[in-house]
Structures are given as structure tokens and as C-alpha cells.
Amino acid sequence: MPAKNSILRFLQIFFPCALAVMAAFVLFAAEPLKYGDNYEGGRVVYLLPIDKMERGRVPVPVQHGVIAAISDLPATLTWFDAKATCDSLTLKGFTDWTLPAKEDLNRLFISKEVLGGFQNEEYWSSSSSEPDNAMSQNFFDGKENIHSRGERLRVRPIRKF
């Protein structure tokens, strides 16, 4: 009887530990995302350093960053329409798309060759410069500009993960 209790006790300790080790191996062996990867409805623009969240006793790597839509919205839009369209957009099953801030828009410009599909034109950012104007970026030369919010420019939505 004592041997049976010892075996049961061993199994009670061993199996949860073995499962935790296997789970950690699977999670850590999974290939991390890379810049330009297709992921969650778009392409990875940039990644933040990997966090490790504690779930039970096993550290789990968690990646965060920004994803750009695969293509521009189909028409040029005023700033107000661009913001409203991005805020209400459902794309590839995701509903948290936004108009990029000027810093994010600059990252899109820097990554335009990898992401693809950009025109050599002005793109809206969500960043305001004055009450009636907003910031944009020219995807030909990278210069940031100020435009009246009533002008029609290109839009590439982003989402954070």
C-alpha cells in the first residue's frame, strides 16, 4: 500500500511539472513575429521588445507592435472621413483599426518597400497641427506636411496588438 501511495504522489507531482515544461517548450519554440510578417489582418510594421507574462509558473512570451492594413483605403478622403472610416473599419475580422499618428505614419513610410502597395502621394495622420489642419506625410520623399482637414489624401489604417 505505501508503494501505491508513493506512486500516486509521484504522478500527482510529475505530470503537472511535465505539462508545464512541455508548454514552455512549445511556447518558446514558436517562431517570433518579424517585421513584414502577415499577422492578424495586416503586415507587421514594427515590434516592441518581447514581454514575458507569468501564467502560473511558466513565463509566456508576448509580442506587441503595430500592423498596417495590406492596402490603402480605396478612395482619397478628407481627414474627418479618414478618421471616421478607420475608427469604424472591420477588416479581416478586426475592428480596432485607426488612422496612424504621425510617428506611426513615418514608420509606414520607412517600411513602405517591405509593406508594399503605397502610392507616391500624401497620406493622412491622426495628428493635428492646428484646429483646421492635420499632419500628413509624402510617400515620395518622406516630408511631413500640414494640410487643411478638408483636403482629400490617401489613408492606410493601422492597428496595435
Q: How many CB atoms lie within 10 A of CB 153?
A: 21
* Per-residue tens of pLDDT for the chain, all 161 residues: 566 666 556 546 655 544 444 444 444 446 788 989 999 999 999 998 876 655 566 666 778 999 999 999 999 999 999 999 999 999 999 999 999 999 999 999 999 999 999 999 999 999 998 889 999 999 999 999 999 999 999 999 999 99
pLDDT for res 57: 63
Residue (of 28, 90, 91) closest to 61 by Cα position: 28
Q: Does the domain at residues 67-160 carry the CATH identifier 3.10.100.10?
A: yes
Distance CA 12, CA 25 (A): 21
pLDDT for res 1: 58
Please give the full DSSP string across 60-95, using - where no structure is assigned. Answer: EEE--EEEEESS--SS-B-HHHHHHHHHH--BTTB-
pLDDT for res 29: 47
